[in-house]
Chains A and B, each alone.
Chain A
Amino acid sequence: MRVGVITFPGTLDDRDAARAVVAGGSEAVSLWHADADLKNVDAVILPGGFSYGDYLRCGAISRFAPVMSLVIEAAGKGMPVLGICNGFQVLCESHLLPGALTRNSDLHFLCRDQEIEIVNNTTAWTSSYKSGEKIVIPLKNGEGSFQCDDNTLAQLEGEGHVIARYVGQNPNGSRNLIAGITNARGNVVGLMPHPEHAINELTGPSAQGLGFFTSILNAMVK
């Protein structure tokens, strides 16, 4: 099982994502934004960071990176794709997922341990969790407020495409406390908090983020 981790200029959590992939039982494969080559990976992670300095809009430049056209194509064929934080923003800019991530409602960067509830455990990236399972993983971003129009929101909710919600006080003003969403097929997932920073209690608030990286094995076995 080979999981590609893309590095854009300004990507920060690529080594962390690769570490989590390995901890989850897969092989991590580095992918470079400028390469038109997915190196035969079975799944792709777009990690967190500030790709291209988040200039223009978060993720707006990265979506045009050569590697992204391959990711978009592969996602269309069902390859599991996980975008974490900045990666989520890139997925929205790439129109693999609907909506947009805007500045946190209090306008501050926010780094804290965040409780979220997994509300859809049928995706390629969440099947290791029970539906309704609550986990604590780091949230760290300046632009994490999920926004979309009313129709899109109704569709996301109506078709069960919300995969995780913030528990308790809304940390950033996201609509319906949305922390993560998926596409209709369930192979593309975008998540604002960082499961790759919660793979053990030594360096994270918990080991509860590991499920995202073990889920992908289930997806392949199927």
Chain B
Amino acid sequence: MSLDTVSIAQSTPDNVQPFAELGLKPDEYARIKEILGRRPTSSELAMYSVMWSEHCSYKSSKVHLKQFGDKAPKSDALLVGIGENAGVVDVGQGYAVTFKIESHNHPSFIEPYQGAATGVGGIVRDILTMGARPIAVMDPLRFGPADAPDTRRVLPGIVAGVGGYGNCLGLPNIGGEVVFDETYIGNPLVNALCVGVMKHSDIKLAKAAGAGNLVVLYGAKTGGDGIGGVSVLASETFGTGGSTKRPSVQVGDPFVEKVLIECSLEIFAEDLVVGIQDLGGAGLSCATSELASGGSGGMQVSLDKVPLRDPSLSPEEILMSESQERMCAIVEPSKIGRFLEICKKWDVTVTVIGEVTDGDRLEITWNGEVIVNVPPRTVAHEGPVYNRPMAQPAYIDEVNSQKVNVPMPNSAAEIKAAVLKLAGAPNLADKSWVTAQYDKYVQGNTIQAQPDDSGMVRLDETTNLGVAISTDANANWSYLNPYQGAKLALAEAARNIATAGARPLAVTNCLNFGSPEDPAVMWQFAESVRGLADGCLEMGLPVTGGNVSFYNQTGSVAILPTPVIGVLGVIQDVRTRTPMSFTSAGLELYLLGQTQEDLAGSEWAFLHGQRVGQSPTADLAREMRLIELLLEGNAFFSAAHDLSQGGLSAGLTEMVLRHNVGAVISLSNPAVDLLSETPGRVIVAIESNKTSQLQALATKYSIEISKLGTTGGDSLTINESIIALSELREVHTSTFPRLFG
């Protein structure tokens, strides 16, 4: 292929270019020509096509996402908001924490191990790029039916990939989700969250300021992996009879990334960079245009200086390559010597590929010939914006008007059978088969991890300051009512960290949906964003960043709307946390919150093949009172456990099995009490002499409480039903080994 330069582009305005194959629409191509005043060179076309893809440009979601800014609650904690690689919040004592969640769904379906592994690698680099040391990861995962043959291919590969990469980086995996539903069969969801910590003064931003400063590429060499992955993989539906464009999924090397992390942190500690950006989706196209766009605007890059793994790569391919484990830094000339020294110490390949200029163009040359000359903002930040048509889907009224009709247990035998059925259901069964493949101990600061309600890590060994994080989604509720579903997921995530005694502080999100070109999906998306933005405003929690994953559908079947919400909170002293279960007999168990007949969207309804009815309505004012109660009660609660999927039945199962201490429970309406999933409920265990303290808190915060029973024994006894812990454990723990070996 001959080199297409700017001068050739000027002299051959009528050359036919493959913009459609690169995923650009005719009007988008026309706009590029208008911006440049000529046809783009092939390299420019490559850059625009990847940067204007749905994945990079958020072109379908932008108009909705701006609500997170418009409705942002006033928060003193937010140090860096949406738009940077990850948001940063102040957690006190001079510490800042950055966290973000991202999807790597499509690659993980094609190549489960590498897709999931590079998903972890990408989000970790985002956190590193902010100047923070990554300290933990979490991974909400969703799969097709647990017993589907393809799930046996996809799930073990994804779990091994998450573990293989994260373990090798030395990042404890502190939680996540594993959920099964048939709509995910061709579209598994791999969402990866990373959290990092730094001092306030260490925050780094993606900007290239100061003419004469050097553009430095360091980390792995550039190869042919993932070329076009962003624009093609992430923006086109793949499936039967669809596109055949399936470029290779990126291949990760966690060892290189681990070295890159340590090398970068040493560079940051000596304050050697002006700006920094990781190379993720859209590789160098993204990093150079975002850095230039974030700074004064001018940058000159000699693309031929980029170290290559495959010397046959064309300039277009180098610009689009998504080779992993690469970073791009802006360095003052006076500091480059030390920068190179540190890279040498860590055996990290490093190359000066260009410099910041005082112009306003991003100019890229190939052996002296200009192949890119663009205003960087038009590539990075001023891509197309679509206000896509949306319409409430017909199914909404239909399912909302129906009532859940499922068998409800009555006799002692039926109650026992129902508890066991839920305990062994794939969505609720013990997840040790998964989590045992993840290192949760490395770094020595893990206080809580799955199966706790939230993950918790210590930030400071002297003061015991810590953070807790939970990620939650209830796609069944989001399907029935996406507005409420998003609010309910937010409330659940916040509650999950408050049960441990951590105060919710900030929100991240990963919004997984079908095709935005389907008005019904777009409506689900818009309603979810509106719900989350309204919820965050009401709860006073800023959204610090997030990620949108569209086109999660096979043919015309979209996944359930799945907004995964992550909430981060602070705990002043991790030693004071409330554990999720009890270790002794004779404690009293209370239910905080009142159980209604909320079976719509419940696990019990799901197990009976029903996804109808009306989702519960989020009462966030009440949720906030409950959170305050939990934080105050942390002083004397022996245990606290959130109730969500599987309701009281699942909550009790998890509590009694955790430390093998049973409970005797008395319920007036056992079927509904056990199976309903009314939001805003928590089980707490207290010593019997603390009853009046709990009563006082309940009155203070206007939360209904009721006594459930007492702890002790070697069974879970519910009215006349006696379930031996050994039997319950066998059912709870055998599901995953049976399904996945």
Contact = CB atoms under 8 A, between A and B. Distances in A.
A117 interface: no
Interface string A42-55: 00000011101111
Interface stretch (A10-18, A151-159, A160-168, A179-187): A10-18
Interface string B160-175: 1001100111100000
A110 interface: yes
B437 A108 contact: yes
Interface stretch (A66-74, A91-99, A125-133, A196-204): A196-204
Nearest to B457: A203
Interface in B222-261: 253-256, 258-259
Contact of B255 (A16, A55, A112, A142): A55
Nearest to B346: A9
A1 interface: no
Nearest to B167: A109
B443 interface: yes
A10 B255 CA distance: 6
Interface residues of B, number: 35
Interface residues on A, range: 20 to 34
A52 B447 CA distance: 29
A54 B168 CA distance: 9
Contacts of B551: none
Contacts of B446: 203
Given A12-B170, A13-B170, A110 B437 contact: yes
Interface string B591-606: 0000000000000000
A142 B164 CA distance: 9
A63 interface: no
Interface in B403-451: 432, 435-447
Contact of A204 (B253, B439, B441): B441
Contacts of B346: 9
A19 interface: yes
B255 A52 contact: yes
B309 interface: no
Most buried by A among B160, B164, B441, B445: B441
A138 interface: yes
A47 B439 CA distance: 15
Nearest to A199: B444
Contact of B445 (A10, A138, A203): A203
A140 interface: yes
Given A202-B447, A203-B447, A111 B255 contact: no
Contact of B437 (A15, A19, A111, A194): A111
B458 interface: yes
Contact of A109 (B437, B443, B445, B458): B437
Contacts of B259: 9-10
Interface string B332-364: 000000000000011100000000000000000
Given A15-B444, A203-B446, A111 B170 contact: no
B385 to A, nearest CB: 43
B622 interface: no
A53 B458 contact: no
A205 B484 CA distance: 39
Nearest to A13: B442
A49 B170 contact: yes
B347 to A, nearest CB: 7
A53 B436 contact: no
Contacts of B62: none
A202 B579 CA distance: 11
A120 B461 CA distance: 33
A109 B574 contact: no
Contacts of B31: none
B199 interface: no
A13 B461 CA distance: 16
B575 interface: yes
A53 B253 contact: yes
Given A9-B347, A50-B168, A108-B436, A202 B441 contact: no
Nearest to B433: A108
A121 B432 CA distance: 33
Interface in A16-59: 16, 19, 34, 48-50, 52-55
A109 B574 CA distance: 28
A203 B167 contact: no
Contact of A53 (B163, B254, B444, B447): B254
A109 B164 contact: yes
Interface in B292-345: 345
B222 to A, nearest CB: 19
Nearest to A107: B160
B255 A194 contact: no
A204 to B, nearest CB: 7
Contacts of B440: 111
A112 B169 CA distance: 18
A140 B255 contact: no
A196 B443 CA distance: 10
Most buried by A among B437, B447, B458, B461: B437
Contacts of B443: 15-16
Given A16-B443, A16-B444, A111 B438 contact: yes
B272 to A, nearest CB: 20
15 contacts: A10-B168, A10-B259, A13-B170, A15-B443, A15-B444, A54-B168, A54-B255, A108-B436, A108-B437, A111-B437, A111-B439, A140-B442, A142-B167, A197-B442, A202-B575
Interface of A: 9-10, 12-13, 15-16, 19, 34, 48-50, 52-55, 108-112, 138, 140, 142, 194, 196-197, 202-204
Given A12-B169, A13-B170, A16-B442, 4 more contacts: A50-B168, A109-B160, A111-B440, A194-B441
Interface of B: 160, 163-164, 167-170, 253-256, 258-259, 262, 345-347, 432, 435-447, 458, 461, 574-575
Top 8 closest A-B pairs, CB basis? A53-B255, A12-B170, A16-B444, A197-B441, A50-B168, A138-B441, A109-B437, A140-B439
